[in-house]
Amino acid sequence: MDKNQFKKRLSLITKTIDHHLIYRLSPTKSQSSNVNQSNQQNEIDQSNEHNNNPVDPDARGERIFKDFTTMFDEDGNILEFDIIKVDDNLFNRSPVILIDHHIAIESWGLKPVYKFLYKQLLSHNKKEIVLNDGDLKPMSRLMLLLNSNASFVWNIRKTLVQDGLLSVEEDLKVSELILKSKPKNPENFVHREWLIMFLSKQNKLTSEILSQELEVCLNAAHQYASNYYAWNHRLYIVNKFFKDDLNFLLGENELIKRWINNHISDYSGYHYKQTILSIIFNQFANDKAKIVELLNNENLNSKKLIQIYPNQEALFCHKRYLLKLKYLHIGLDENDVKEEQEFARQSFKTARKFENNWLITLTNRYIRWIEYNCKIQIDVPQ
C-alpha cells in the first residue's frame, strides 16, 4: 500500500468513527428510510438476543444486502469497496457505510450477509430456486466483492451477459472495482478476458475499451508486486489486438521502461518487457541495424540502473536477457566482449570499495552465465 492509499484508507476509517458518533453522512431520502428501517430492525434483533430469542441469520443477511444494494445503486459512482474492522454492533445501525463514493461493510456484518448470498446463489446455480436478474446482478456483485474466488458466481454473471441482462461495460466496471481491493485475482482476469472476447465477436470492441483494459492491468501491477496475472492479461491484449502494430509496440516498450525505473525489484515487469522486445525483434527480423540500435539503448539503460541499484538481482537477470537476445539475433564480436569485461571490472571495483559481497556474487554469476550461454570468455581479475 503506497502513501496515498494509506492516507485515503485512514481518512475513510476516521470519517467512519465520526459517522458513528454523530449521524450517517448526508443520506438521501430513500437511503435514510432504508437505513432507519434497518436500524429499527437491528434494535429488535438486539432485544431478541438479550431475551435469548434467536435471530434469523438469513433475515439479517438479507437486510444488510438490501442496505448495500440501495446505497451502491443510488450513488452510481462507487470508487472503492473495503471492510472495516468493527467486531460488534455497538450502535444498533446497519454495517454498510457510504462516504464520498467509498463504500464499506463493518466486519461484524460479513458472516450473515455472506451466508445469505452464498446460500441463495448456490441454490440458484443448482436450480433449486430461480432468482430473477434484478436479484442476481446485485447479489453476484456483492458476493464477488467479498469473495472474488467464487468461480460459479463469475459464471452466473457470464450467463447474464450472454442473455443480454447485464451489459459488458457494467460488468467490466464491477470487475475493476474488485481489482482495487484484490488486484492479484486470477478468476477476475479470466473473466475480463472472456468479456473482451465477447465484445470482439460482436464487433463492439472499441479502442477506448482496449485502452482502459491496458490501464487496469498497469494499475493492478502497481498495486501488487510481482502481479504476473495482470501482466499476462496485458500481454494477452497485446498479442490479440496489437501484435502487428509496430508503433504501439515501440511505445509500449518505452512505457514499461519508465514503469521498471520505478519498480526496480519487480521482475514481473521485466518479464513482460522482454516478451514485448521479442515481438518487436520479430518485426525487425530483416533490419539488423534497427535491432542493434534498440539493443544498445536497452543495454545502456540497464547499465545505468545497475550503477544506481547495484544490489538488485533483477537488473542483472534483465541484462543477461539483453545479451542473449543480441547473441541469438546478431552475434557477439570483440567489442561486445570488451564491453562486458569493462562492466564486470567496474562491478568488482564498486563491490571492493563498499565491501559489497553480494555484488561480487551477482557479478560472478553474470560472468559464468555469459561464458556458458554465449560461448565467450570473460577474463576479469577480482
* Helix, coil or strand: residue 26: coil
Return the pLDDT at 57: 63
Q: How far is CA 218 from CA 4, 62, 82, 211, 353, in A?
A: 17, 36, 21, 11, 38
Give alpha helix (H) positions in 226-287: 228-241, 246-261, 267-283
Please report, for the chain, the start and end positions of each structural domain, with discontinuous segments joined by +: 243-382
pLDDT tens-digit map of 197-245: 999 999 999 999 999 999 999 999 999 999 999 999 999 999 999 999 9
Kindly state the percentage of the chain with pLDDT values over 90.
Answer: 71
**Are 58 and 115 in contact, with CB atoms under 8 Å apart?**
yes
pTM (predicted TM-score): 0.83
pLDDT tens-digit map of 292-351: 889 999 999 999 999 999 999 999 999 999 999 889 888 888 888 899 999 999 999 999
Q: Are strands 96-99 and 102-106 parallel, antiparallel or unpaired?
A: antiparallel
97, β-bridge pairs: 104
